[in-house]
Amino acid sequence: MEKIFLIGYRCTGKTSVGRKLAEKLDVSFFDSDELVVERAGCSICDIVSRWGWPYFRTLEKEVVKYLAKVQGPGVVALGGGSVMDEENVDALRGKGFFVWLYADVNTIVSRMIKDKKTSSTRPSLTGDDVYGETQQVLSIREGVYRSIMDAKIDTRGKELERVVDEIIWEREKWRVTRLDSCSK
């Protein structure tokens, strides 16, 4: 079994869904943001305030290279901006199934406001208000998410278990399609 890479914007469920999915599939779970924090020895907010976003992206690239080399199946929650780097995508391409966890701007902002740790762990990307920033960054990233995804799962208004089941279903369809194309 290959890896399942979860991509998407902040607060679309990558970490929560990823943990539950890995548990259900009985495979390892990796969160690229958590690995960056572990490597740096401080929070993402601290990394960004001390050394800036470019340094964070450098650490993130090291983590993605590491994840690309990890053997065996697993579920990987990738930081929302990690796939904006073509080298990161190239390192992971062919190693698994990419799932874009999607939610609209209003849903994302609502989740950010409700999530107490968002403000302490997720620094601003643009300095704009949360709604403006989300709208702006999503408009830039959605094309990239769309171009690399194997499946898109809308997480709005869904229980975790349902999202997990939809990912498993989509992965099975993807595997069958790959097998069919290989046998022709």
Vertex 62: Cα angle to 20 and 7 (nearest 5): 35
Q: Is 134 helix (H, G, I), strand (E, B) or coil?
A: helix
The DSSP H or E segment spanning 53 is helix 53-69
What is the average per-residue pLDDT within 119-138?
76
Its pTM stands at: 0.91
Q: Alpha-carbon distance 2 to 183, whole Å?
A: 19
What is the average per-residue pLDDT within 131-158?
94
pLDDT of residue 146: 97
pLDDT of residue 108: 93
Strand 74-77 and strand 96-102: pairing? unpaired
Phi first, then psi: give them for residue 153, nearest 5 degrees.
-120, 120
